[in-house]
Amino acid sequence: MSEPKAIATIADFAAELALEAGELVRRERDENTLRTDYKQQTELVTHADVIADEMITGAIRERFPDHRILSEETMPDLSQAEELDTPLWIIDPIDGTVNYAYGHPQVAVSIAYAEQGKVQVGIVHAPFSGETFRAVRGSGATLNGNPIEHSAATVPRDSLFATGFPYTKDSLEPLLRRLDAMIHQCRDLRRIGSAALDICWVACGRLDIYYENVSPWDFAAARLIALEAGATAGHFSEVPDGYPADLWGRDILISAPAVWEPVRKILRRASGYE
**Listed residue (255, 231, 224) closest to 161, CA to CA:** 255
pLDDT at residue 48, rounded to an integer: 87
**Listed residue (207, 232, 245, 201) closest to 84, CA to CA:** 245
Note the CATH architecture for domain 156-271: 3-Layer(aba) Sandwich (3.40)
* pLDDT-above-70 percentage for the chain: 94
pLDDT at residue 215, rounded to an integer: 94
Residue 95 assigned to a binding site: yes
Q: How far is CA 101 from the centre of its chain?
A: 19
pLDDT band at 104 (very low <50, low <70, confident <90, very high): very high
Cβ neighbors of 76 (< 8 A, separation 6 or more) are 70, 215, 217
* Low-confidence winner among 14-18, 197-201, 239-243 (lowest mean pLDDT): 239-243
Residue 97, pLDDT > 50, answer yes
All structural domains of the chain with their residue ranges: 4-147, 156-271
Task: Give the CA radius of gyration of the chain.
Answer: 18
CA 36 → CA 54, 91, 255, distances in Å?
A: 16, 20, 34
- Residue 79 three-state SS: helix
Residue type, 144: N
Residue 218 assigned to a binding site: yes
185 vs 171: which has the higher pLDDT: 185
pLDDT at residue 249, rounded to an integer: 95
d(C-alpha 209, C-alpha 258), whole Å: 11
The phi-psi region of residue 96 (left if phi > 0; otherwise alpha if psi is between -120 and 50; otherwise beta) is left
Residue type, 10: I
Task: Write down the number of H helices and E strands in the chain.
Answer: 7, 14
The phi-psi region of residue 111 (left if phi > 0; otherwise alpha if psi is between -120 and 50; otherwise beta) is beta
**What integer best gives the mean pLDDT of the chain?**
92
Burial class (CB within 10 angstroms; exposed 0-12, middle 13-18, buried 19+) of 30: exposed
d(C-alpha 55, C-alpha 120), whole Å: 22
Tell me whether the CATH fold assigned to 4-147 matches the one assigned to 156-271: no
Residue 92 assigned to a binding site: yes
pLDDT at residue 273, rounded to an integer: 94
d(C-alpha 221, C-alpha 180), whole Å: 29
pLDDT at residue 71, rounded to an integer: 92
What is the CATH code of the structural domain delimited by 4-147?
3.30.540.10
Indicate the pTM of the whole model: 0.94
> What are the tens digits of pLDDT across the range 10-56?
999 999 999 999 999 999 888 765 665 555 544 567 788 889 999 99
pLDDT at residue 267, rounded to an integer: 98
Residue 121, pLDDT > 70, answer yes
Phi and psi at residue 46, to the nearest 5°: -110, 165
pLDDT at residue 189, rounded to an integer: 98
- Residue 105 three-state SS: coil
pLDDT at residue 171, rounded to an integer: 80
> What are the tens digits of pLDDT across the range 106-119?
999 999 999 999 99
